[in-house]
Amino acid sequence: MSDVTETKLPGVGVRHDFTTHHGDRIGMIAHRAGHRDLLLYDRDDPDSCGQVVRLEEDDVRTLADLLGAGHVTERLTELQSVPGLSIDWVPVDGGSACSGRRIGEIGLREDLGASIVALVRDGETIPSPPPDLTLRQGDTAVAVGTPEGIRAMHALLQGD
Amino acid sequence: MDAAASDVAAVLTQLGAVAVGLAVLARLGHRTGVSPIPLYLLAGVALSAGGPIDLSPGLVEIGGQIGIVLLLVLLGLEYTGEELSTSLRAGFPAGIVDLVLNLTPGLVLGLLLGWDPVAALLLGGVTWVSSSGVVAKLLQDLDRVGNRETPAILSILVMEDMAMAVYLPAVAALLVGGGVAAAVGSLAVAVGAAGVALVVALRFGPLISRVIFHRSDEVLLLSTFGLLLLVAGLAERLQVSAAVGAFLVGITLSGQVAERARGLFGPLRDLFAAAFFLFFALSIDAGEIPGDLPLACGLAVVTMATKIATGWWAARRAGVGPRGRVRAGTALVARGEFSIVIAGLGVTAGVQPELGPLAAAYVLVTALVGPLLARGSDALLALIRALRGVFTPRPAREGAETS
């Protein structure tokens, strides 16, 4: 996953941004009021935004869906029949080095060949958890990946 | 019709007419992108110069006082205790540069005019503080909230906010007089109160907020508004000024209560803040404003330059390029509500009659010119570069930094 920078904007909310593989910078402001701004930074003046797109909550869901996150959760069952891909429920153990760290920090996808597509916490499901969500003891991660990847995920989240 | 009924009728029609007048101005401001603050001030000046409506002063004064309290509680609510304490650590150098560059011109001018030192210090405060209302709206309107210079701008606003918690009670203490010892004592109380409020906000904010919290808007509005006026009144009695008390209440409320209170107080603030700006314009000698305009323009030119320098410096520290630095500087140029609150303290205390009209003229100029400068920041950068080219023999080095 790309390196995501977090910046707090006092009185406004939080901004996350990252550079794409082709060198464009994309950001997202989560306003305290609830809506979001999608930011496309200017190529000539990388300090400023060439485009700002205001997204209300259901726009955010639609966009996330188009980008694929929603589909992944919906099609979990389908995935299981795809050859070479596995899905498993992996509990997060308190003794694991990952407990207390953010999902984005673990670097699962590149290193392991598996990713967390949903998180079950306190009986509630968080579909497509954001990379800045912190893993806690008692969470259960829904992981999708190669069978080896899933085994590595077990080792990582259960701390052995 | 008996006398009482005709009084009520008179008050209601007066207030209605004024509110409709302000609504027209606010509409105009929205259409043209001009901040309503200078427009309200102009309306107040027009009224005091013998406009068609003869407002009963008592009513406007109480409205104005509630306006100050609401303006400041919302400024306090704007930032959570956590945001304040992290900004205090990260933004301290920029806050000091801002203070030195922008308080000095007003202070020096006041002293040159032969004013009382306290009045000069108030004028320094007027030139120091940017209008967080105008700046926030500008960033929003110009789609600059996501820009890389924006955290530097916001951190200066937060620092000014925090500094007000010390500055306002300090000048309030100096205005009361009673010698250095009394002023130092009062200052100690104020700094102590600000510190306690910050600690309380961080430690017990969630607890206090849980106690106050209620899912009904009605209950929540009455409890927070009541608490607000009680603390403001208590602060005024302790001679720390109601404005400061309100500000501290704003900082202390946190979490869901703060969020809901922002929504509930917002419309009230818009209503009563308009009354405050009117009240201020009515309480100064408006006839003086045209005569003070040249002086105000001179002061505005100097302090717009120092504000741009402040923003430039802060943005450069954040690793932002020249275009963003000028954007940061110009965004901060507008002065507004805080400057009027500060001048209002002096007007109420009766120091230096010229302070009120000069501050009004100054805020008019900066609040009108500031947004224009922010829109034309790229042109301004070209101008700065051209000037540098004239004054430096070698090609300007800033250009090389851009790439």
Nearest-CA neighbor of B59 among B103, B8, B2, B109?
Answer: B8
* Chain B interface disruption, residue of A47, A49, A52, most B CBs within 10 A: A47
Which residues in A lie closer than 8 A to residue B89 (C-beta atoms)? none
pLDDT tops 80 at residue B26: yes
Confidence band, pLDDT 50/70/90 cuts, at residue A138: confident
A9 touches chain B (CB under 8 A): yes
- Tens of pLDDT, residues B336-357: 888 998 998 888 888 888 899 9
Which residues in A lie closer than 8 A to residue B83 (C-beta atoms)? 8, 10-11
Residue of A2 and B337 predicted with greater confidence: B337
Contact B146 A8 (CB under 8 A): no
Q: State the helix-helix crossing angle for B242-252 and B81-90, rounded to 10 degrees.
A: 100
- Chain A residue closest to B155 (CA)? A10
What gap in Å lies between CA A139 and CA A121, rounded to an integer?
5
- Mean pLDDT of the residues in chain A: 81
What gap in Å lies between CA B129 and CA B164, rounded to an integer?
9
pLDDT tops 60 at residue A109: no
- Tens of pLDDT, residues B296-316: 999 999 999 999 999 999 999
- Tens of pLDDT, residues B234-291: 888 876 678 778 887 887 887 778 888 888 998 898 888 888 888 888 888 777 888 8
Confidence band, pLDDT 50/70/90 cuts, at residue B363: very high
Q: Distance, in angstroms, between A82 CA and closest chain B CA?
A: 41
Residue of B106 and B31 predicted with greater confidence: B106
Residue A100 half-sphere exposure toward CB, CA atoms < 13 A: 5
Nearest-CA neighbor of B130 among B163, B107, B108?
Answer: B163
Instruction: Supply the pLDDT for residue B397.
Output: 47
- Chain B residue closest to A43 (CA)? B403
- Chain B residue closest to A14 (CA)? B146
Confidence band, pLDDT 50/70/90 cuts, at residue A108: low
pLDDT tops 60 at residue A76: no
pLDDT tops 50 at residue B403: no
Question: Are B235 and B186 contacting, i.e. CB atoms less than 8 angstroms apart?
Answer: no
Q: What are phi and psi of B45, to 5 degrees?
A: -60, -45
Q: What are phi and psi of B6, to 5 degrees?
A: -70, -30
Confidence band, pLDDT 50/70/90 cuts, at residue B141: confident
Instruction: Supply the pLDDT for residue B399.
Output: 44
pLDDT tops 90 at residue B96: yes
Nearest-CA neighbor of B74 among B7, B9, B11, B161?
Answer: B161
**Percent with pLDDT over 90 in chain B:** 29
Q: Distance, in angstroms, between B349 CA and closest chain A CA?
A: 33
Contact B157 A9 (CB under 8 A): no
3-class secondary structure, A47: coil
pLDDT tops 90 at residue B124: yes
Neighbours of B357 (CB within 10 A): 25
What gap in Å lies between CA B230 and CA B233, rounded to an integer?
5
Confidence band, pLDDT 50/70/90 cuts, at residue A1: low
Question: Are B79 and B136 contacting, i.e. CB atoms less than 8 angstroms apart?
Answer: no
**Percent with pLDDT over 70 in chain B:** 90
- Chain A residue closest to B88 (CA)? A10
- Residues contacting A107, CB < 8 A, separation 6+: A1
In order of A48, B20, B112, B131, the CA distances from B339 in angstroms are: 30, 26, 20, 8
User: What average pLDDT does range B387-392 have in this prediction?
Assistant: 76
Q: Distance, in angstroms, between A28 CA and closest chain B CA?
A: 8
Which DSSP letter does residue B164 get? H
What gap in Å lies between CA B147 and CA B156, rounded to an integer?
15
pLDDT tops 50 at residue B400: no
Instruction: Supply the pLDDT for residue B107.
Output: 95
Question: Are B347 and B356 contacting, i.e. CB atoms less than 8 angstroms apart?
Answer: yes
Structure tokens at B275: 């009354």
Residue of B399 and B167 predicted with greater confidence: B167
Which residues in B lie closer than 8 A to residue A49 (C-beta atoms)? 143-144, 146-147
